[in-house]
Structure 1
Amino acid sequence: MAGLSANTPTPTEITVHQQSRVLEVAFSDGARFRIPFELMRVYSPSAEVKGHGPGQETLQTGKREVNITALAPVGHYAIQPQFSDGHDSGLYSWEYLYDLGARQAELWRDYEARLAAAGRGRDDAMPVKSAGACSSH
């Protein structure tokens, strides 16, 4: 993970809005973003989501209703949210949060294009990883 460069804006305020499901972040350069939890979860910088190299990403679906249940600081450079679906391994550096906020429209378009290419929808359930572990009623 890239460290902070001298010109990386740092958060001056971070607010979790449970009702609207957005993380509001104000930065030292005056920028203020409202980043939807769903976008954060879909673009989690964790190995579980990103994979270990290009083309190994796991397409995330069914995250529209996800909440952040806890938010832990990591040093002076990142936060580690815990999501209501149990995901908690993503470290969001200040640089990454700023990028998510600044590029929201582009990231949504990219996500929707990847969903369309996979024939999936935003609200589809995530596929179950282990075969035979799913029981239907």
Structure 2
Amino acid sequence: MASQTKKLGRIADVFHDLETVERVRVSDLTQEIASLRAAQDDIFRSLESPSPVNGLFTALLSSRVGRLERRIQQLSREHEIALKRYAEAAARGRSADRLLAEAKGEEARKREQAELEALLEFQEAVGAQGRGKSPRPS
């Protein structure tokens, strides 16, 4: 039973590691999306205050905004998928934790039962020795 508990412990650890990987992926995507949105906002702010330099590069800035928007959309889809995978990994981790807790509980019950059986055998052995002795004269 102890080997089963060890195996379940290792499985639970793997699931927690996978959950961590997915959480990091979600975090990375969130940061990248925020960074792209900030770059896009910077471009919009620069276009709000017209200047001769901006006028020359308006087409390029417009193109850049379009590319940023497409990348944000792509990352948003990846982010959604990563969130689902993270939720699934978390659910698998919780299931593994429950199985591990059940296995540990079963192991503890079996150990307790074995200890009780050993105690009963000891009491029977002591009782049998006591019955075999002759009473002492008073």
TM-score between the two structures when normalised by the length of structure 2: 0.19
Q: Which has the higher contact order (CA 8 A, sep 6+)?
A: 2
Which structure features the higher share of helix residues?
Answer: 2
Which structure features the higher share of strand residues?
Answer: 1
Which is greater in Rg? 2
